[in-house]
Copies of this chain bind each other. A is one copy, B any other.
């Protein structure tokens, strides 16, 4: 059994949610989203070493919450970087080689224990595990023309897939991949691994595993939490 880590990226400032604090600290049914997400990993049978990457600006608020709520789940707090790439890279400094490491968005509290377990197992065998969902809506590309008008055109949705987290990797490979210089195309860990020459393995994600982004997502979250 390979040692298991999870890097929870909790760096975002969450301005799109329209709330007064970053969305990973908003309370859902009495608990911050980040706590719901951390507790997911606690429910796995095998122990997971948790690394929470967070900007300095909200660190004190989180610590205060843990103190007041007597939330004592063990985790290492690591300071976030200027992009998601730099944040994960900071987190990886605390991950051993020869292990498995999941990278998961703090604002995806509805990943399931089954999905996370399946992803660790797939990564142990194949080196990576990336959850995906088929695109169900029609899809259009969009870009502004030179005068700023929006140009859109239909694209074949079957040629695309939605990519979720947790993304799980052999830590040796991910740490090595993160030694490469930053590129703006690095929107997730899969893209970093791929740029380093590694093949990716995919597994089915879940439509419940939403990334809490907009006020409407927050309404969805209220329904999901009482499921």
Asked if A75 is an interface residue, CB under 8 A from chain B, the answer is no
Q: How many copies does the complex hold?
A: 2
A160 and B142 contact, Cβ closer than 8 Å, known pairs A154-B190, A223-B223: yes
- Selected contact of A136 from candidates B159, B160, B213, CB within 8 Å: B213
> Which of A28-36, A86-94, A174-182, A204-212 contacts its partner?
A204-212
Q: Is the CB of B216 within 8 A of A207?
A: yes
Among A4-12, A64-72, A161-169, the stretch that binds chain B is A161-169
Count of chain A residues near B, Cβ 8 A:
46
A108 to B155 alpha-carbon distance, docked (Å) = 21
Are A227 and B216 closer than 8 Å at their CB atoms?
no
Distance to closest chain B CB from A94 (angstroms): 24
Q: Is the CB of B137 within 8 A of A162?
A: yes
A208 to B219, CA, bound (A): 9
Q: In the complex the two chains form, what is the Cα distance from A190 to B152 in whole Å? A: 11
User: Cα distance A154–B213 when bound, in Å?
Assistant: 20
A187 interfacial contact with B, CB 8 Å: yes
Interface positions of A from 124 to 182, Cβ below 8 Å from B: 132-133, 135-143, 150, 152-157, 159-164
A190 to B188 CA separation, bound complex (whole angstroms) = 32
Contact A140 B136, beta carbon cutoff 8 Å: no
Contact of A140 among B137, B143, B163, B210 (CB under 8 A): B163
Inter-chain CA distance A194–B162, complex, in Å, is 26
CA distance A208 to B222 in the complex (A): 13
Which B residues touch A142, using CB under 8 A?
159-161
A224 to B164, CA, bound (A): 22
Q: Which of B190, B220, B227 contacts A207 (CB 8 A)?
A: B220
Roughly how many angstroms separate A210 CA and B223 CA in the complex, as a whole number? Answer: 15
**Across-interface contacts of A152 in B (CB, < 8 A):** 161, 200, 202
Closest residue of chain B to A143 (Cβ to Cβ) is B159
The reply to whether B159 and A139 form a contact with Cβ atoms under 8 Å apart is: no
Contacting pair A155 B163 (CB below 8 A): no
A137-B211, A208-B219 given. 4 additional CB < 8 A pairs?
A136-B214, A138-B164, A139-B160, A141-B159
